[in-house]
Amino acid sequence: MQAAAGVTGGCLCKAVTYRVSGALRPVIACHCSQCRKTSGHHVAATSAPRDSVVIAGNVIWYGSSDMAQRGFCGTCGSNLFWDGPGTHLSIFAGTLDGTTGLRLAGHIFCADKGDYYDIGGRLSCVDGADPDMTTQVIA
């Protein structure tokens, strides 16, 4: 299920806000070691076409790999975005305002998950990247 266009979101202190005019992809949980290190657990993210996202405020971008960067608020530290070289910007679902209409659709990098929790349920769980579920990083 995709969310309707026109959703908003932002960080905890409201120094960074954003508006998405395009449709959002269903939420995917990423259990990779980078997501676990930056969030303290796994990351639940949606994505939208980059040109449909308008960001207000000062996002600090950290180059987390050769192909991607992570955006966070420099004031409160909220993790907001993951950006790679594709057409979409990943948006951390917990930063969206209000009711989104989105649902969790699956899990990626399950082989890297922490040993202190189990992934239950009937959703897809793949050991690594899955191009059908995630933001494409190769244009």
In what helix (H) or strand (E) does residue 39 lie, and over which residues does it extend? helix 33-39
Tokens of 101: 């209409």
In what helix (H) or strand (E) does residue 34 lie, and over which residues does it extend? helix 33-39
Give the model's pLDDT for residue 129. Answer: 84
Tokens of 96: 């969206």
Angstrom distance (rounded) from CA 21 to CA 48: 9
Angstrom distance (rounded) from CA 112 to CA 126: 10
Exposure b/e, 22-39, CB count within 10 A at least 16 = b: bebbbbbbbbbebbbebb
Give the model's pLDDT for residue 138. Answer: 43
The tens place of each residue's pLDDT in the chain, 139 residues long, gives 455 568 999 999 999 999 999 889 999 999 999 999 999 999 999 999 999 999 999 999 999 999 899 999 999 999 999 998 788 999 999 999 999 999 999 999 999 999 999 998 899 888 988 877 776 544 3
**Cross-strand bridge partners of residue 54:** 19
Tokens of 110: 């399950």
Give the model's pLDDT for residue 124. Answer: 87
pTM above 0.75, yes or no: yes
Q: Which domains does the chain have, with CATH numbers?
A: 7-125 (2.170.150.70)
